[in-house]
């Protein structure tokens, strides 16, 4: 079986929900956490330029790729590395060529675990190591991470037996396990925007369900245009969930904590003039600190620049962990 030893998620792109608040918000009124990958596609005349930034989960595995009885680290990630890059269909519908892979920490022993035309996104391995939960789009085409049609699904750790846990025309996205693999927390659009109902503002809320998809429960109450996203359970204190919140398409995301039943919502860390938006929070393995990414500025082309920070669980003792190239010489 495969065991998660304090999962590490590495991202380098704008959070899915902030693109909604910046892009579509002005026209009607586009992806979490802890944990994801974005396809960047640009057209250069007739040539399609395809770039991928990968969401990586660091896990401790045995048995999923069963070679010995020794515990070892592997990485699970999504990629289009086997896609026919010159094929017209790939150029028109690149997302459906995204698949899940695992490999050793040194990059060796790459193993592809999914073979389909779906887009499996933001894979998260269960604590017992036997299951993977992910966001999945069954007809991706050129969908974005805020489009309707995203569902939550689970599969075996070898990629077999993909099972849908949600079945809606609207968005369900960004799922993650609790400490013992009995619960899954995720984001859903409570406004039920669908492909035929796009002229309304979304209401992104945090939901929780059993690992089999039963007993779906809404934990937050978003107003039109509000975003609650990037939910993450604590493995040390199972009754706690981290998430980010923004009101009215403002794009200013603050860090909150609540109980697993949705009670006792508490502001932990508010955005500042230096940290413009808080995203993708998660507890440290020992439960004493919270790690998150924060938008520190935009470049000359309007692209957000993010760095990683940590705080104590009460919101104190802010520490910066990463520095982008421009500020790398300003470390104190």
Which phi and psi angles does 38 have, rounded to 5°?
-120, 140
315 domain-assigned:
no
Give 134's DSSP letter. E
326 domain-assigned:
no
Which phi and psi angles does 298 have, rounded to 5°?
-120, 150
* CA 27 to each of CA 14, 240, 252, 304: distance values in angstroms, whole numbers, following the listed order: 20, 36, 19, 21
Number of domains in the chain: 1
Q: Mind listing the pLDDT tens digit for each residue in 197-241?
A: 889 999 999 999 999 999 999 999 999 999 999 999 998 899 999
Contact 243, 254 (CB under 8 A): no
Q: Mind listing the pLDDT tens digit for each residue in 126-143?
A: 998 889 999 999 887 778
pTM value is 0.80
Compute the distance between CA of residue 98 and CA of residue 34 in angstroms, rounded to an integer. 19
316 domain-assigned:
no
Check residue 325 and give its pLDDT. Answer: 56
Question: Which CATH number covers residue 180?
Answer: 2.120.10.30
324 domain-assigned:
no
Look at the alpha carbons of 256, 228, 11, 273 in this order and tell me if their dihedral is positive or negative. negative
Check residue 96 and give its pLDDT. Answer: 87
Check residue 171 and give its pLDDT. Answer: 95
112 domain-assigned:
yes
330 domain-assigned:
no
323 domain-assigned:
no
Q: Mind listing the pLDDT tens digit for each residue in 281-320?
A: 999 989 999 999 999 998 898 888 999 999 999 999 999 9
- Collapsed DSSP state (helix, strand, coil) of residue 264: coil
168 domain-assigned:
yes
- Which of these ranges, 15-29, 41-55, 204-218, has the smallest mean pLDDT? 41-55
Query: Over the chain, what is the mean pLDDT?
Result: 80
The boundaries of the domain holding residue 84 are: 2-283
């Amino acid at each position: 079986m495969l065991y998660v030893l304090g999962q590490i998620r590495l991202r380098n792109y704008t959070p899915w929900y902030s693109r909604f608040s910046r892009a579509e918000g002005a026209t009607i009124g586009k992806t979490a956490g802890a944990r994801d990958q974005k396809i960047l596609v640009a057209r250069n005349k007739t040539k399609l330029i395809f770039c991928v930034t990968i969401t990586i989960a660091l896990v401790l595995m045995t048995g999923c790729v069963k070679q010995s009885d020794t515990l070892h680290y592997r990485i699970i990630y999504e990629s289009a590395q086997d896609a026919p890059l010159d094929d017209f269909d790939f150029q028109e519908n690149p997302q459906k060529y995204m698949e899940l892979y695992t490999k050793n920490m040194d990059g060796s022993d790459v193993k592809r675990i999914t073979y389909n035309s779906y887009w499996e996104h933001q894979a998260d391995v269960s604590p017992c190591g036997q299951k993977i939960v992910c966001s999945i789009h069954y007809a991706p085409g050129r969908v974005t991470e805020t489009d309707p049609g995203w569902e939550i699904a689970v599969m075996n750790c070898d990629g077999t037996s993909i099972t849908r846990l949600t079945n809606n025309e609207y968005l369900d996205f960004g799922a993650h396990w609790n400490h013992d693999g009995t619960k899954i927390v995720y984001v859903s659009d409570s406004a039920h925007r669908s492909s035929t109902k796009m002229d309304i503002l979304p209401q992104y809320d945090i939901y929780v369900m059993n690992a089999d998809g039963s007993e779906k429960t809404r934990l937050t109450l978003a107003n039109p245009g509000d975003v609650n996203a990037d939910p993450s359970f604590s493995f040390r204190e199972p009754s706690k969930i981290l998430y980010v919140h923004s009101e009215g398409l403002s794009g200013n995301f603050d860090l909150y904590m609540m109980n697993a039943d949705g009670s006792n919502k508490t502001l932990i860390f508010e955005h500042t003039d230096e940290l413009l938006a808080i995203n993708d929070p998660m507890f440290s393995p020992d439960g004493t600190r919270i790690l998150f990414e924060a938008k520190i500025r935009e470049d000359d082309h309007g692209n957000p620049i993010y760095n990683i920070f940590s705080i104590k669980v009460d919101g104190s003792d802010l520490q910066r962990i990463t520095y982008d190239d421009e500020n790398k010489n300003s470390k104190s």
